[in-house]
Amino acid sequence: MPLLQNKHYPLGKIFATLTKQYVGVVSEQLKHLDLERYWYVLLRISESENPITQKELGECIGHDKTSMVRIIDYLSKMGYVKRKQNKDDRRAYFIVLTPKAEIILPDIMAAFETMNKAALKGIKNQQLECLNDCLN
């Protein structure tokens, strides 16, 4: 019986296994960097059309305030982001990429693109649309 049809097999376990394998391959592709995690956070910041606050970033990637503080502290300590105070709201800070982050973004994008292509190989566009609709 296929895993997804087995109502006793936790769907979360399937996604957790896929995530572990996916991140493992991406980690291997990016092992030449001094950054061992949070690559997607850097990509999300770079894709934002407007300056993004720590709170907005957390909402985008599904992390709570405490997690975001830890993530931004780590990325800041590693020299990839800086906090810049919002002139309109002194309590809020924009998260901006440093030149060091800009240099590694192409590597991160390439790693995700390569992995996505490999993971979705052989799946027709119509099937991908269906999968996307189901997951949404």
pLDDT, tens digit (0-9, with 9 covering 90-100), for 31-42: 999 998 999 999
Cα of 128 vs its chain's centroid, Å: 20
Exposure string of 7-25, with b = 16+ CB inside 10 Å and e = fewer, is eeeeeeeeeeeeeeeeeee
- Specify the range with the lowest mean pLDDT, choosing from 79-83, 87-91, 102-106, 116-120: 87-91
Predicted confidence band of residue 71 (pLDDT cuts 50, 70, 90): very high
Token match 């997804």: residue? Answer: 4
| Residue 92 phi, psi dihedral angles, 5° rounding | -100, 150
Indicate if the alpha-carbon torsion angle 85, 86, 91, 97 is positive or negative.
negative
Region 102-111: what's the mean pLDDT?
A: 96
